[in-house]
Amino acid sequence: MNGFWSDRPTLVTGATGLLGSWLVRALVDHGAAVVCLVRDWVPQSDLVRSGLLDRVRVVRGDVRDQPLLERVLAGYDIVTVFHLAAQTIVGVAERDPAGTFDTNVRGTWTLLEAVRRTAPLAQVVVASSDKVYGPLGRRPADESDPVQPGRAYETSKACADLIARGYAQAYGLSVALTRCANLFGGGDLHWDRLVPGTIRALLRGERPVLRSNGRYLRDYLYVEDAVWGYLLLAERLAADPTLTGQAFNFGLEQPLTAREMVERIAQVMGVAVEPVVLDAARGEIVAQALSAARARRLLGWQPQIGLEEGLRRTVAWYREFLGAAPDPLPVGVEGWRW
C-alpha cells in the first residue's frame, strides 16, 4: 500500500461483522487511524475476541443517527469511510422488510448526507451486493448490467446502491461501490449460512443441511480477498476521480452449486458426507455469477488466496473457535464415508 494508510483517519461502519472485522484488522496492520462505529456489542465477534477493539477508537451508536455521524466525521477528521453497516440476512429481510429497508436504505443516505455536510472531500466505499443484479441465469453479471432486484433484501441493497451513485453524481462526493460475491471466512457467526453451517455440522459429526435443493449456483469470495479489493478501491479512488460513482464486482469467477461447495468443504476437512437436502428455499435467485474484469483492469485486483486455501483458513478458524479437535472425526459417525 506504499504508506497510503499510515495514520489515515478512517471510519468503518458495520465493524463487528464478517467483512468489517477483517477489514479493521488489515487497516490496523497498515497503520491507519481507525474509528469503528459499533451498534450492538457482539462478544463472539472476531473484532472483540482478537483484542482489535483495543487498538482502534470505538464509537457506540447507530448508522441512522446523523448528528452522531457528523460529530464523528468532524471530530476525527475522517478522510476515508467504509460503509458496511447493513442488515445482511436474506431470511430476516423476508420476515422484516421494513426494518431491513430502514437500516440498509436510510442508513446509507444518512451516512452520505453526513459526509456531504461534514466531510465532503472524504472517499466513501459503500458495500452493495451482487444480489442487485437479480436473476441473470448463468451469465456472469458485469457492472454495465442494470439493477433489477426482486425480493426485500435485493431491493434494499439496490436502493442503497442507487442512492450512493446519486450522491456521487449530484454532489460530487467521492463515492464508489463494491458488489461482492458470497463472502466466506472465519468469524461469520450466522450458522444458517452455507459455509459456517456446514463446517460446524461436520466438526460435530453431523450431516450438513441444505435449505435449497442443492443446485442453486453462487460465486464465492474469501473474505481477505474481499478486503484486498476494498483497500485497493479506496486508494485508487483517492487518486483517480474518474472512479467516482462506479461499482466494482469482486468474486472468484468460479460459480459452484450449494452441493458442490459442501463437497469442497468436506474435501478440505478430509471427509465425505451426504448433506440433508430440505428443498425448502423459495423465491431466491437460482443462479448468480460475476465478472470481475473491471476490478482487474482498473484496480489491478485479483484474488490472492482463492477458494481452496480460503476454505483451509476458514476451517482452521472454526476448529479453534469451536474448540474442535484438529484431526478428522472418528470413523463410524452416522453419515460419514471415508
| Domains in the chain with CATH codes | 9-189+220-254+289-306 (3.40.50.720)
Distance CA 310, CA 265 (A): 10
76, 133, 153, 167: the catalytic one is 153
The pLDDT value recorded for residue 332 is 34
The pLDDT value recorded for residue 325 is 56
The pLDDT value recorded for residue 333 is 31
Strands 182-184 and 220-222: parallel
pLDDT single digits (tens) 75-94 = 999 999 999 999 988 888 88
For helices 194-203 and 258-268, give the axis angle rounded to 10 degrees: 40
pLDDT single digits (tens) 42-68 = 777 888 888 888 899 999 999 999 999
User: In this predicted structure, which of 123-132, 201-210, 246-255, 272-281 has the lowest mean pLDDT?
Assistant: 272-281
User: What number is the average pLDDT over the span 195-219?
Assistant: 92
The pLDDT value recorded for residue 279 is 82
**pLDDT band at 335, cuts 50/70/90?**
very low
Nearest-Å Rg of the Cα atoms of the chain is 20
β-strand partners of 336:
273
Arithmetic mean of pLDDT over the chain:
91
Cell of 201: 455440522
DSSP H helices in the chain = 18-29, 46-49, 66-75, 90-95, 97-101, 107-118, 152-171, 194-203, 223-239, 258-268, 293-294, 306-322
- 153 is a catalytic site residue: yes
**pLDDT band at 330, cuts 50/70/90?**
very low
